[in-house]
Copies of this chain bind each other. A is one copy, B any other.
Amino acid sequence: MNCEYQPKEQAIYQAVLALFEDGADINNITVAEITGRAGIGKGTAYEYFSGKEEMIAKAFLYNGEVFCRQLYEGVCREKTLADKVNYVLLAMEDQITKTNCVFRLMQMLSENSAVSNWIHKLLKEKRETGIVPAEDVIRAALTDELNERKMPPEEMLTYLMMSVYSKIFCYGMLINDDKYRQEERRKRVRELVNQSICREVTELFELS
């Protein structure tokens, strides 16, 4: 599923992500910075990518994939919905406080830049290939509910996903807020968000 990344390709990804983590502005990263950080020649990058935008887009998607795979495994390991959600929230917290790349990727989905055009294009291709990690995670989180087969109508599911996504997003914003720097408060919020998500999910499936 993953080992098909060539070394230099992966070096580029890691360089882009490292630069981002160091606070670089994605829209002003230079190819020289990327290749310098990756420890390869500038020309080499162009053996693997058609341009700077592709490098950045793929780097963030790469990160997204790795993250989703981690989430997927974690979610599968946990038993209850609450534990699954908790695992996701904790992983998100980790991501956000450390790199924030996933957050930025989600943001780019609604931007209109060369990089985000690449992201959309690549996602479309992936979707056609059948690989959609983010949705896999959600499906894995809802196995129990989905197995009972009282399926709610499709647009309700879309709404649910958006809603859950927004709660996680909200959680992400909160832990970025100064008021929630302490683990104590974070925990309380995490529980609130968790309950809120679980309730929404169960209600939806009970109703239908």
Contact = CB atoms under 8 A, between A and B. Distances in A.
Contact of A163 (B28, B103, B196): B196
A80 interface: no
Contacts of A188: 155
A167 interface: yes
Interface residues of A, number: 38
B159 A192 contact: yes
A132 interface: no
How many protomers of this protein does the assembly include?
4
B112 A23 contact: yes
B165 A170 contact: yes
B174 A170 contact: no
Given A25-B111, A162-B174, 19 more contacts: A26-B113, A27-B27, A27-B28, A27-B113, A28-B114, A103-B110, A107-B111, A110-B176, A154-B179, A155-B185, A155-B188, A158-B174, A158-B180, A163-B167, A163-B170, A163-B196, A166-B169, A169-B169, A196-B200
30 contacts: A24-B112, A25-B114, A27-B28, A27-B113, A28-B114, A103-B110, A104-B111, A107-B107, A110-B176, A154-B179, A155-B179, A155-B185, A155-B188, A155-B189, A158-B174, A158-B177, A158-B179, A159-B189, A159-B192, A162-B170, A162-B173, A162-B174, A163-B167, A163-B170, A165-B173, A166-B166, A166-B167, A166-B169, A166-B170, A196-B200
